[in-house]
Amino acid sequence: MLTVLSSFQIGDSALSLVELVERTGLIKSTIMRLMVSLETYGFVNRLADGRYMLASEVMRLNAVYQDALDLERHVLPRLHKLTGETGETASFYVKHGAYRLCQYRVNSPHRLRLHMQPGDMRP
């Protein structure tokens, strides 16, 4: 079930069963069963066209996670200070397997910059 949820990426407004099959490697019937469970518990919504999008339970869990860490209160002021002192973008990442997950970011005032946002993953 978590494999299916993890297949959603930033920029995905919704995914079809075919896209979920391609991203997870699971068979269509398995994904259909998982999506029924995820929909029942509020993790996904099925759209009129049959595609699925993440639902409010995902956001609620993110809020619980953020609250438990209490990082925002400590990290954001320091990122703002770094950006103010250097004029450059400052970001805070957390290791996520072989990747890094951007949790907080304060963009530089420069027009030319790397466009990333919290939630993006990079190697």
**pLDDT per residue as tens digits for the range 14-68:** 999 999 999 999 999 999 999 999 999 999 999 999 999 999 999 999 889 888 8
State whether 45 and 87 are in the same domain: no
Say if CB 4 and CB 23 are below 8 A apart.
no
82 is in which domain, residue-wise? 70-122
The b/e string for 54-67 (b: 16+ C-beta within 10 A; e otherwise) is bbeebeeeeeeeee
65-79 average pLDDT score: 87
78-107 average pLDDT score: 93
State whether 76 and 43 are in the same domain: no
Pick the residue with more confidence: 26 or 98?
A: 26
Taking 90 as the threshold, does the pLDDT of residue 7 lie above it? Answer: yes
Mean of per-residue pLDDT scores for the chain: 92
H/E element holding 93? strand 90-96
Write out the two tokens for 1.
């079930």
Q: What is the pLDDT of residue 118?
A: 87
State whether 85 and 51 are in the same domain: no
The answer to whether residue 99 sits within a structural domain is yes
pTM for this entry: 0.66
Domain boundary among 13, 34, 59: 59
Q: How many CA atoms lie within 13 A of 73 on its CB side?
A: 5
78-85 average pLDDT score: 96
